[in-house]
Structure 1
C-alpha cells in the first residue's frame, strides 16, 4: 500500500513537472529589417566597391611580368622558357588579394552591429564583387602603364610583358569569402537578433 502510494505520488509529480503554464503573449521573433537598412546597405556597397582601386594597385606591384623575346619585325613575341608560369602566378596573386579584400569587407560589415542582417550581408557581398571587378580593370591599367614600351623593340630583344588575368572567375573569391566570414560570425553570435539591440 505504501509502495503503491509512493509510486502514484511520484507519477503525479512527474506529470506536474511536464505541464507548463501557457503563455498568453509569446515572445515575438525578431523580423528582418529592410527599410531602415537600405541606406546603410548602399553605403556599405559603395564603400566596399572602392577597395577595388587599392586592390588593383597592389596586384600591379606584386604580379610578375612575363619576359618574352621579339622574334619578328612586326613585334611578334615568344615567351622565354618557364616564363609562361607567371600566367598562373598573376591569377593566384589576384585571387589571394581578392580573398583578403572579401575578409576585410565581411568583418567590417559584421561590426556594424546595429545594421546586422541579410540586407547588409547582400550589400557587402555585392560590394566585394564590385571591388574585385574594379580591381581587375584598375590592375590591368596600372600594370600596362608600368610595363609600357615607348619605342619599337629590336629583333631579338627581351622585353617584359605586363601581367594579365586570363580568367574572370577569380572575382568570385571576394564575395564568397565575405559571405563565409559573415555566416561564421552569425553562427558564432547565436542571438536571434544578432545583437542589434546591444548596439
Structure 2
C-alpha cells in the first residue's frame, strides 16, 4: 500500500558540467540570432510605410489626413515581425535536442531581444536611405487647406515623404517573449521531465 506513494527521483536533472557545456554552443547560436536581426531590420525598412507630408511656401507643414495612421502601422509591423522572428528562433532552438534546457532558453531570450534591438537600429537607418524623399509640387484646394468655405486660387505646396519610424522601442520585447513562449509551449507539449534530451 505504501509503495503507491513512493516519490520517484526526478529524471533529466542536468549536472553543473552539462549546464556549462551548453554555454558555448548557446553563445554561438545567440551571436547568429543577433546578426540575423540586421536582416529583420532590412525587411522592416522595405515594408514599413513612410508618412506623406505637405509643406506650403510659407513653411507650414502638416501630414496628410490619410497618412496619419502610418506611424502606428510601422510600429505594428515591426512588433509583428519581431514576434514572428522570436517564435521561429524559439522553435529552431527547441529542435536541438542535445542542448535543450535552461541555458538555451535564457540564451534565446536575450539573443532575440538583442536581435530585435539591432533590427530596430538598422531598420530606422535604412528606412531613411530607402525612402524616396524627392519633393513633388502639388496644388492644394484653398478651401480645404484653410478650413474655410471661401473659394480662391489653389495654394502651391510640396509633397514629400518622411521615413518610417518605430513609435516605441518597447516593441523589441516582442521577440524575446515570442521566443520564450514558443520554447515553453514545445516543452509543455512534449510533457517529458528530461525534455527528451539524450
Instruction: Report the TM-score, using the length of structure 1 for normalisation.
Output: 0.80
1:43 aligns with 2:24: no
Higher strand share: 2
Aligned counterpart, 2:68:
84
| 1:69 aligns to 2:54 (yes or no) | yes
Q: Distance in 1 between matches of 2:188 and 2:4?
A: 31
Alignment of 1:177 onto 2:178:
yes
Structure 2 distance, partners of 1:126, 1:73, is: 49
Matched with 2:11 is 29
Question: Cα gap change, 1:29/1:178 in structure 2, threshold over 3 Å: closer, same or farther?
Answer: same
User: The residue matched to 1:156 in structure 2 has which SS?
Assistant: strand
Residues 115 and 166 of structure 1, relative CA distance in 2, 3 Å threshold: same
Is 1:124 matched up with 2:108?
yes
**Residues 29 and 160 from structure 1, CA distance in 2 versus in 1: closer, same or farther, beyond 3 angstroms?**
same
How far apart, in 1, do the equivalents of 2:2 and 2:173 lie? 53
State the partner residue of 1:9: none
Structure 1 residues without counterparts, runs of 5 or longer = 1-17
Whole-Å separation in 2 of the counterparts to 1:120 and 1:135:
22
SS in 1 for 2:3: coil
Q: 1:141 Cα shift?
A: 1.2
TM-score normalised by L of structure 2: 0.81
Q: Would you say 1:167 and 2:168 are equivalent positions?
A: yes
Unmatched runs of 5 consecutive residues or more in structure 2: 139-155
Contact kept? 2:11, 2:193, Cα under 8 Å:
yes
Give the CA deviation at 1:77: 3.2
How far does residue 30 in structure 1 lie from its aligned partner after superposition? 2.6
Written as runs of structure 1 = structure 2, the 5 A alignment for 1:8-23 is 18-20=1-3
Which aligned runs of 4 or more in structure 1 are off by greater than 6 angstroms?
Answer: none
Of structures 1 and 2, the larger Rg is shown by: 1
Matches within 5 A, 1:148-167: 149=133, 156-167=157-168
